[in-house]
Amino acid sequence: MARKAYSLFDRSILLPAIRASFIKLNPVYLARNPVIFVTLVGAVVTTVELIFASMRGKPVGFPMQISIWLWFTVLFANFAEAMAEGRGKAQADTLRKARTRTMANLLQSNGATKTVAAESLRKDNVVIVKAGEVIPADGEVIEGAASVDESAITGESAPVIRESGGDRSAVTGGTRVLSDRITIRVTANPGESFMDHMINLVEGAKRQKTPNEIALTILLASLTILFIIVVTTLKPFGLYAHTLFSITVLVALLVCLIPTTIGGLLSAIGIAGIDRLVQHNVLAMSGRAVEAAGDVDVLLLDKTGTITLGNRQAVEFLPAPGVTVQELADAAQLASLADETPEGRSIVVLAKQFGIRERELHDFEKAEFIPFTAKTRMSGVNINGSQYRKGASDAVSEFVGAALPEMVQACVQDIAQKGATPLVVANDRKVMGAIHLKDIVKGGLQDRFERFRAMGIRTVMITGDNRLTAEAIAREAGVDDFLAEAKPEDKLALIRREQALGHLVAMTGDGTNDAPALAQADVGVAMNTGTQAAKEAGNMVDLDSNPTKLIEVVEIGKQLLMTRGALTTFSVANDVAKFFAIIPAMLMYTFPQISPLNIMRLATPHSAILSAVIFNAVIIVALIPLALKGIKFRALSAAEILRRNLLIYGLGGLIIPFIGIKLIDMIIRAVGLA
Amino acid sequence: MHAMGWIQLAVFTVVLLAVTKPLGLYLVRVLDPEGRTYLEPVLKPVERLVYTCIGAERTREQDWKGYAASVIVFSLIGALFTYALLRLQQFLPLNPQHFGAVSPDLSFNTASSFTTNTNWQNYGGETTMSYLSQMVALASHNFFSAAIGISVAAALVRGIARQKTKLLGNFWVDLTRVCLYLLLPICLVYAVFLVSQGAIQNFKPYATAHVVDPYSVQIPEKTAGKTAMVKKEIATQSIAMGPVASQEAIKDLGTNGGGFMNANSAHPYENPTPLSNFIEMLSIVAIGSGLTYYLGRMVGNQKHGWSLWSAMFILFLAGVMICWWSESRGNPRLTALGVSSHQGNMEGKEARFGVFNSALFATVTTDTSCGAVNSMFDSYLPIGGLVPLFNMHMGCNVFGGVGSGLYGMLIFVVLAIFLAGLMIGRTPEYLGKKLESYDVKVSVLAILIPSALALGFTALACVTKWGLAGRGNFGPHGFSEILYAFTSCINNNGSAFAGLNGNTPPYNTTLGLTMLVGRYFVMVPVLALAGNLAQKKAVPVSSGSMPVSGVTFTLLIIGTLVIIGALTFFPAVSLGPIVEHFLMVNSTKLF
């Protein structure tokens, strides 16, 4: 799936969203959202009132306009939600297209295979998939290895290797085997597969309200009840003052006062948050996980792949006495030619800097390459009667049959102390010198960690390296803490320890042995290349399998919460201006002396009330882009963020409606609506 | 707005600031069952005796339900006791004026009123209550209700400060210690001081004084079913007596507000001198102010305590200024007739206190839930009268009633953090405690039910015969009287707009119910909140945590209190003081 960030007003989303806005008028559906439900009831009441008024031959211009705008308020709120859902649906549709009817080669107990429809597969069935076939269901490779095209789910066209055993055994239904043949044990029943799950998620079909959304909904509903009481009691207060407030006006006041802005946008903000994650190729298993990501204050980052580039690079040649750097570089390169690992390649590249470039191909005709084995812990080449080797210092020492020269020994120790890896190169019985292999820390991380620190988030690096190495890398990367010589169970213990102190922990993992830690962490991001167990334990899956993504995940979580808070504050602050627009208007007929209270100088009572109602409706639409995109995320301390956002959305929420209502009033007058 | 006023305001502020920390520190000791005070040698045996009487097993720490149940049981017993005493007043001693039994509805109203720290008085003290009723039935509640408020506030603060426990302290211990170590000693000194200023303290029957200049009045007299005006010569005047000073001290210190005399602190026997006036105002806000320091100390964030203090102080200052400004301008209608506005609007104010000290007292008494008055709000200009109403609409949480001010304020803090706290990119947390559905539910409950009841009863009174009959004025001013009465009762303030005659069965009943709901439908949710917060684990505070101090936070709290607390009542208020103001300014109407 090529994940596309849909432009806000893409026609393919806009039109269905408009249709959905009307379908969502169903009161059963709207009851989930108490604020908008009350608005709907208000719209119905004013409409009924309007019908009675017209039957009695009363003027209907004003009540009709109020009524229309109340309906629009509900529709706009529905539209906001439909827009957010529409963007998810568009992603889901692309996913669905990728899913074709597939057949599966079911392995039967007698060892024969039988061709069945993929939908008939059940958990624990075993199937065989050959090159060119589509994997029929989620499963685990139990035999063989194959390259698999997973672009259908990751959008990444480069094939990946899937093999039995180890941490790359999980396969996803709907992806295609490109080479070889693998035997797969099915791990998901139809309808429960990863792809189904993913479609449901991005579509928001089974969206549950998150705990914070529930709490906020309770608060918004309570404010709504409070304002219902305020407005209801206004009727008898009016009777006391010999002022007859019409139902239409009271409903208009009510709808303006209840928090329709956040009520209308709340679910859109939540859906958009999950959608933003999807655009980053991360699938959150629940909205709750996204929220938790915002709360996280400890990040456990695996050294390899997250903090370092994942492989060591040669940075220096340290020749033995009587050997020139060129000679060492030459020997090192020869010894590494057969080494396809990134480390080996980096030695070849570094040697090139010493002018060792042009090698005659015929030199190698008789070359015998010695690959690296766990037993010899060396690799190299036998060429023209010479044996070139490179490897761990003790292995090379054994190879030459003597202790390393004192100076080389010193270099080796020095390199190890710096947290790097030393390799020793030998030519026949002669030790040529040492190679300094260094972990390369990814660029820009230090800055990022610095900003995290400002936000009160602690970064902890996890590595299997020894303390010395770990400390050096931790210092270079700028993480706050590190856990060296970490075994998987240490990770779990660390998470428990941090959680006991009240911290919320996020981590990434891919292996089966990561699964307990992933499950324990508040946010566990499993790599898509990881095992099925890891994916099930985590509450998010990163389709790109890029552990650095954890940082973005946290930022998206925070952005989601910030957006929700900003629009809530804005919505509540709006009430002040609405009071000043509507209350003077309501009293103007009985008490014309109250006109100075009409501080916005709105033209007439009708235009004032209508302007407030229109503002209240239009602001929902105006804020849809903000709700979907999220407010600007800044990595600052909480105090600073609060000050900034309170200024923009709190103070802004106080002032903007004054301006907006005044402008609408002027337009209404100009057009002659009231 | 003259220089003397500014100086007094400055002095008042400085002295208030000065007493806040020592009082806060003292409260820390008082509210710690093991806390040691200087009074220990004298009072510890008394404290032990109390515990022996109630049973040592009752002094173990309680969870929120246990605490709440104790509060309610104790309050209920107290209320029934007071009701009985008032009903049987004529048979009991210390009744030199031979006052008869108090009517059932008034007894209910009064029992509710004093039990809930409201001290709304639908009676004139010196014409209704025997000395025994004043001292035993009423003054005892002045101590107990104040101590209950402080205890519940302490329970909430413990809930915030503690982690992973259900226990909030013990109500009986808190109650005993607050009475013994805090209220009684201060009141003892305070009462002596008041006597030194000229307040009375005796059990004498009322004195009769001969007026210097006899005069005659027309009074209506019913003869043979007809009412006729009869001329009556006035040559003597009854001078009420009684144990006033002792009651006055706790009336202010415990933010009770129920005066011994009908005229409350405007009466020279209750509030004789400018100095006594100053000390009375100070004593009304002192404990509320000290409790903010107590909060800061207990949660280990003194800046948080001071930020709440600042928010309260800013709102207090705004109230004083507006009220003072309004009253010092004088009545524009009278000015138009050529009356000098030099003195400001002096109707209903004591000449001894003048405009500034009346405005300051009015703000102090309604910012807190005291309700004592030294001037009559009914006679304030509309904007001047709006200030006390607005203060109460904020929940009497500015310094607030003893204890109730702090816990009322903390409810708004929870709501403010819940509404705006998300903006920092975390789910809302207060001092490391995550605020979740349950916390929100109980917090809004504490605001929703009282507001609903106050508005509902006001609406009912507005459209019923009994409701309208109680008014002393018509038009918006009459509406203000009704609205004020229910607002005052729901917030357990007890000050009256005067003017309203509430001593009728329907008003006695509705106002009595309002007071009970305003007290216990806040206290129970507050304790539930405390219980829930106590169970939570605190997230360690970092630069990513919600800031609970500083200018931003202070403004956030003010904004929440004004927008959610007070502006909810804007539509109602606009039909009262606001309309009245514009009618007064823009037409010639007066009410």
Instruction: State the DSSP string of B19-80.
Output: HHHHHHHHHHHHTSTT---TTHHHHHHHHHHHHHHH-GGGGS---HHHHHHHHHHHHHHHHH
State the pLDDT at residue B341: 80
**Residue A477 reports pLDDT greater than 90:** no
Q: Cα–Cα distances in Å, from A113 out to A107, A116, A176, A178, B387?
A: 4, 9, 19, 20, 87
**Residue A2 reports pLDDT greater than 50:** no
**Residue A3 reports pLDDT greater than 60:** no
**What SS3 state is found at B6?**
helix
Of B267, B285, B300, the domain-final residue: B300
Same domain, B182 and B273: yes
- Whether residue A465 lies within 8 A of chain B, CB to CB, comes out as no
Tally of domains in chain B: 3
Cα A138 from Cα A190, distance rounded (Å): 9
Q: What are the structure tokens assigned to B207, written together?
A: 């004195």
Q: Are A338 and A371 in contact (CB under 8 A)?
A: yes
**B301 min Cα distance to partner chain A (Å):** 15
Q: Are A62 and A610 in contact (CB under 8 A)?
A: yes
Same domain, B417 and B280: no
Mean pLDDT of B92-99: 90
Mean pLDDT of B327-348: 87
Q: Are A562 and A645 in contact (CB under 8 A)?
A: yes
Taking contacts as CB-CB distances below 8 angstroms, the residues of chain A near B572 are: 230, 233-234, 237
- Answer whether B423 sits within 8 Å of A230, measured CB to CB: no
The torsion angles phi and psi of B232, rounded to 5 degrees, stand at -130, 135
Taking contacts as CB-CB distances below 8 angstroms, the residues of chain A near B563 are: 572-573, 575-576
A428 is catalytic: no
Same domain, B156 and B266: yes
Taking each helix axis from N to C end, the angle separating A61-98 and A260-279, rounded to the nearest 10 degrees, works out to 20
Task: Give the list of residues 6+ apart from residue A141 with CB closer than 8 angstroms, or none.
Answer: A162, A163, A164, A169, A170, A171, A182, A183, A184
Mean pLDDT of B108-128: 93
Instruction: Of A280-284, A560-564, B7-11, give the lowest mean pLDDT range.
Output: A280-284
Task: Give the list of residues 6+ apart from residue B175 with CB closer than 8 angstroms, or none.
Answer: B74, B144, B147, B148, B151
Q: Are A258 and A38 in contact (CB under 8 A)?
A: yes
Same domain, B280 and B229: no
Q: What are the structure tokens assigned to B539, written together?
A: 């997230």
State the pLDDT at residue B368: 94
Q: Are B102 and B87 in contact (CB under 8 A)?
A: yes
Residues in chain B: 591
Closest CA to A36 of A85, A67, A74: A74
Mean pLDDT of chain A: 85
> Is B591 part of any domain?
no
> Is B387 part of any domain?
no
DSSP class of A137: S
Q: Domain residues for B212? A: 207-239
DSSP class of B567: G
State the pLDDT at residue A551: 84
Same domain, B92 and B216: no
> Is B324 part of any domain?
no
Cα A541 from Cα A543, distance rounded (Å): 6
Match 């080479």 to its residue by tokens: A179
Nearest residue, CB atoms, A583 vs list B424, B475, B570:
B570
Percentage of chain A modeled with pLDDT above 90? 32
State the pLDDT at residue A356: 67
Mean pLDDT of chain B: 93
Q: What is the rounded end-to-end Cα distance, in angstroms, of chain A? A: 52
Same domain, B169 and B233: no
State the pLDDT at residue B111: 95
**A475 min Cα distance to partner chain B (Å):** 22
**B393 min Cα distance to partner chain A (Å):** 13
Q: State the sign of the Cα–Cα–Cα–Cα dihedral A555, A556, A559, A564.
A: negative
State the pLDDT at residue A542: 87
- Answer whether A229 sits within 8 Å of B456, measured CB to CB: yes
Task: Give the list of residues 6+ apart from residue A53 with CB closer than 8 angstroms, or none.
Answer: A59, A60, A63
Q: What are the structure tokens assigned to A123, written together?
A: 């958990």
Q: Are B353 and B277 in contact (CB under 8 A)?
A: yes
A218-259: pLDDT as tens digits = 999 999 999 999 999 999 999 999 988 999 999 999 999 999
Q: Are B322 and B338 in contact (CB under 8 A)?
A: no
**Residue B484 reports pLDDT greater than 60:** yes
**B273 min Cα distance to partner chain A (Å):** 41
Cα A99 from Cα A134, distance rounded (Å): 10
Beta strands in A58-214 (DSSP E): 103-107, 113-117, 126-130, 139-143, 145-149, 160-163, 170-171, 176-177, 181-186
- Work out the angle at residue B100's Cα, subtended by the Cα atoms of residues B96 and B102, and round it to the nearest 5 degrees: 125
Neighbouring C-alpha atoms within 13 Å toward the C-beta of B141: 28
> Is B63 part of any domain?
yes
Closest CA to B430 of B27, B159, B63: B159
Q: What is the pTM of this model?
A: 0.88
Q: How many CB atoms lie within 10 A of CB A600?
A: 18
> Is B355 part of any domain?
no
> Is B40 part of any domain?
yes
State the pLDDT at residue B399: 94
Same domain, B508 and B439: yes
Cα B411 from Cα B526, distance rounded (Å): 8
Q: Cα–Cα distances in Å, from B80 out to B115, B175, B251?
A: 10, 19, 21
**Residue B79 reports pLDDT greater than 70:** yes
- Answer whether B427 sits within 8 Å of A291, measured CB to CB: yes
- Answer whether A226 sits within 8 Å of B447, measured CB to CB: yes
Same domain, B435 and B471: yes
State the pLDDT at residue A155: 63
- Answer whether B542 sits within 8 Å of A579, measured CB to CB: no
State the pLDDT at residue A8: 63
Task: Give the list of residues 6+ apart from residue A60 with CB closer than 8 angstroms, or none.
Answer: A50, A53, A54
Cα A202 from Cα A196, distance rounded (Å): 10
State the pLDDT at residue B297: 96
Taking contacts as CB-CB distances below 8 angstroms, the residues of chain B near A216 are: 418, 440
Mean pLDDT of A182-200: 79
The burial of B35, by beta-carbon neighbours within 10 Å (0-12 exposed, 13-18 middle, 19 or more buried), is given as middle
Highest mean pLDDT among A71-85, A309-323, A515-529: A71-85
Same domain, B89 and B167: yes
> Is B371 part of any domain?
no
Of B300, B322, B343, the domain-final residue: B300
Could you tell me which residues are beta bridge partners of residue A257? none
- Give residue A276's pLDDT band: very low, low, confident or very high (50, 70, 90): confident
Same domain, B159 and B284: yes
Percentage of chain A modeled with pLDDT above 70? 93
B382-417: pLDDT as tens digits = 999 999 999 999 999 999 999 999 999 999 999 999
Number of A/B CB contacts below 8 angstroms equals 221
- Which is catalytic among the residues A167, A302, A439, A522? A302
**Residue A142 reports pLDDT greater than 80:** yes
- Give residue A357's pLDDT band: very low, low, confident or very high (50, 70, 90): low
- Give residue A4's pLDDT band: very low, low, confident or very high (50, 70, 90): low
Same domain, B283 and B225: no
Nearest residue, CB atoms, B462 vs list A227, A236, A645:
A236
- Give residue B340's pLDDT band: very low, low, confident or very high (50, 70, 90): confident
> Is B472 part of any domain?
yes
Same domain, B199 and B212: no
Taking contacts as CB-CB distances below 8 angstroms, the residues of chain A near B579 are: 241, 587, 591, 593-594
Taking contacts as CB-CB distances below 8 angstroms, the residues of chain A near B558 are: none
